[in-house]
Amino acid sequence: MHDFGGHEFSRRALLAPMSGRPLLMAIINATPDSFHKSSRDGGIEEGISHFAAGADWVDIGGESTRPGSLPITIEEELARVIPLVEELSKHGPISIDTRNHQVAKAAIDAGAKMINDVSGLRDPLMFDLVLQSGVAVCIMHMQNTPEEMQKSPHYDDVCQQVSTELLKTARRLVAAGHPRELICLDPGIGFGKELTHNIELLQGFESLRGTEGFSLLWGVSRKTMIGQICDQDDSEDRLAGSLGVAAYAQLKGIDILRVHDVREHADFAAVMSRLLEVEK
């Protein structure tokens, strides 16, 4: 069992929902330049409010990885995220959203229980840190880097290529002794993908589970994909479309949704769960 601020969670329950709805991972962007303006410069009070609204995880990131973004220094990223991790880990499970092993290590020391790596553990030192620390990990697929990823991304078979890459890394972790139930896979919607790629990945999600049945995380909230489908250029106008993804995710048994709007997603999931329960 894991203890978070007096609340205990089984290892399995950290990444797999027990309630019939996806777990909700709230987004804290401790950045001045994330793509969704309302999510920028997140702080302690915002994180506490996310837990109160129904978040199962709070994901803290100090470096924007929006298309075209540039890296920041390790020192700046540490200064942005570690105080938040130290405080918010008293209230519930914290995930650290970073591709830098130094930041991940400091966050784990400060109380984080998951590494959410948008680069998919490309850095061997990050791979080793997951094994050494024994924390949960989200392995995300990204083609190229944030600076280059949306410059004409190409796949011959996006589901096959993404699932092959993610499963290869996940299976290496398991073979090295990391518990399968502490691994979740994220197809990386919008990270080196066009709209058609994103839709194919959401529709073909089962290929990512592998024979092992890995947990799946989707991060689609307010992204460009929603804007393209709904003709909404401003991310502020994409909540309704994001809830459409949430409905599909709940019907298909997706394990975790990474979201900006926790209360709205929690309420939506509660109604869906009740109606689906009655339907049975």
Angle 117-31-45 (CA atoms, 0-180°, nearest 5)?
Answer: 100
End-to-end CA distance of the chain: 32
Do 15 and 184 form a contact (C-beta atoms < 8 A)?
A: yes
Cβ neighbour number for residue 16 with a 10 Å cutoff: 19
Instruction: Tell me how far apart the alpha carbons of residues 43 and 228 are, in angstroms, rounded to a whole number.
Output: 30
Evaluate whether 249 touches 221 at the Cβ level (below 8 Å): no
Which of 80, 99, 113, 258 is labelled catalytic? 258
- Token pair, residue 30, equals 């401790």
**Hey, what's the torsion of the CAs at 259, 228, 251, 141, to 10 degrees?**
-60
Task: Verify whether residue 223 is a known catalytic residue.
Answer: yes
Catalytic-residue membership of 113: no
E strand or H helix at 99: none
Q: Which candidate in 66, 99, 113, 223 is catalytic?
A: 223
For residues 58 and 91, what is the distance between their CA atoms, to the nearest angstrom?
A: 10
Residue recorded with tokens 């620390």:
133
Show the tokens assigned to 59.
């994901």
- Just list the catalytic residues: 223, 258
